[in-house]
Amino acid sequence: MADVKIHIKGISQDITLRRNTRIKRLSIKISSHSGVVVCIPYLISDKKALQFIHSQKEWINEHLKSDKYKSQEIPSKILLVNDKKIIFQETEHNVFDISEINTVTVVTFPKALNFKEKEQLKKKGLEKILRKEAKIFLTQRVEQLASIHGFTYSKLSFRNQKTRWGSCSYHNNISLNIQLMRLPIHLLDYVIIHELCHTVHKDHSAKFWQLVYNKIGNSLYKSKEEIKTVRIEL
């Protein structure tokens, strides 16, 4: 089931409700990457889940006060994996604009806005740029790596997600996170190879990891751990 966002009075952040058959117990996870996520077993009712959240309001708010859970400002400059650069700059005029000159894209927004409003416009501009660049660069990269390593896949699509870098469906449709454009090339390739290997093995069995290893060798171990530490604000 798809995640659902809700607002609970008295809690400073929206809460993501995540329900599926693999979740065994009612629990709360908090991270700077995903925010507040309530994991709900499939058979637990909405009423019981909400009662649980309300009972944990004080605990949630205490954890949200920690700096490690606070959202960070989008940097003024972002370098993409295809060597293109995004620059965010303020203007005295009441205008939001995205302009591209060669390899540099400039996102302009009003200086008079408050912090939250500026960040919202920056995120809007960033997503639009990443989606455009991903459709070109990631499409080419997937085609290239699939050809080199002998994989075939059905369709390729792009999403803007907080929790998943990519996925591969039962019918070998691959979905990639547009935020991959902000990763170094070795991590980008690791994610792509990972999803391409899922066209052969749908699980994370020993056979799956052996196939990944056969394609990228010892770099598997470093990349697998390194990507866990990557934090990208959406």
Residue ranges of domains in the chain: 4-69, 77-229
Please state the pTM of the whole predicted model. 0.70
CATH no. of 77-229: 3.30.2010.10
Q: What is the full per-residue pLDDT of the chain (234 aa) written as tens digits?
A: 678 888 888 887 789 899 988 899 999 998 766 778 999 998 999 999 999 999 999 999 888 887 565 556 788 999 999 999 999 999 999 999 999 999 999 999 999 988 778 889 999 999 999 999 999 999 999 999 999 999 999 999 999 987 789 999 999 999 999 999 999 999 999 999 999 999 999 999 999 999 999 999 999 999 999 998 887 665
Concatenated DSSP letters of 58-120: HHHHHHHTSGGGSPPPPPSEEE-TTS-EEEEEEESSS--EEEEETTEEEEEEETTS-HHHHHH
